[in-house]
Amino acid sequence: MYLYFFSKEEGCDIRGIVRGGSIVTGDMSLRLSYMLDATPGVFGRAIEKFDSYLEFLSRTIGPKLEGKKVVVWFSGGKDSTTSLIVLLKLQEYISLNLRVYYIHAPLLDGRRNLSFVDEVSRRLNIDIEIESIGREKMEDLLWYFGMPFRGFRWCTYHAKIRPMRGIRRRLGFDYEVSSERLFESYKRFESLQEYAKRKMFISGRQLKPTYFFTILDVVDILKKHNVIHPDYLRGCSRVSCSICPYRTIFELEETIDDLEDPGLIESILRKTFLERYKHAVGWEDYLEFSLWRFSPKMVGGILRLKQLVHRMGGYITSEDIRRALSTMWHTKFDAPKLELDEITELMLEAYRTRKYGILNLGLEPIFLSTNSET
pLDDT value of position 18: 87
What does the pLDDT average to over 81-92? 97
Encode pLDDT of 297-339 as tens digits. 999 999 999 998 888 877 899 999 999 999 999 998 899 999 8
Alpha helices of the chain — where are they, by DSSP H? 50-60, 62-65, 78-90, 111-124, 135-145, 154-155, 162-171, 186-198, 215-225, 230-233, 249-255, 262-272, 283-288, 299-312, 318-330, 340-353
- Residue 30: CB atoms within 10 A of its CB come to 19
Per-residue pLDDT at 29 exceeds 80:
yes
Burial 335-358 (b: 16+ CB within 10 A, else e): eeebeeebbbebbeebeeebbbbb
Tens digit of pLDDT for each residue in 158-178? 999 999 999 999 999 999 999
pLDDT digits (tens, 9 = 90+) for 248-305: 998 998 888 899 999 999 999 999 999 999 999 999 999 999 999 999 999 999 999 9
In total, the chain counts a number of residues equal to 374
Tens-digit pLDDT profile for residues 112-170: 999 999 999 999 999 999 999 999 999 999 999 999 999 999 999 999 999 999 999 99
Q: Are strands 206-207 and 128-132 parallel, antiparallel or unpaired?
A: unpaired
In this prediction, residue 100 carries a pLDDT of: 98
* Tens of pLDDT, residues 31-66: 887 777 777 788 999 998 999 999 999 999 999 999
β partners of residue 202:
207
3-state secondary structure of 69: strand
Tens digits of residue pLDDT in 221-241: 999 999 999 999 999 988 999
pLDDT value, residue 366: 45
pLDDT bucket at 364, cuts 50 / 70 / 90: low
Cα separation, 304 vs 283, in Å, equals 15
Neighbours of 316 (CB within 10 A): 15
The region, left, alpha or beta by phi > 0 then psi within -120 to 50, assigned to residue 290 is left
Domains and CATH numbers, the chain: 50-231 (3.40.50.620)
Per the CB < 8 A criterion, the answer to whether 355 and 1 are in contact is no
Q: What is the dihedral of CA 25, 28, 34, 35, to 10 degrees?
A: -50
CA–CA dist 121, 218 (Å, integer): 19
Between residues 38 and 205, which one has the greater pLDDT? 205
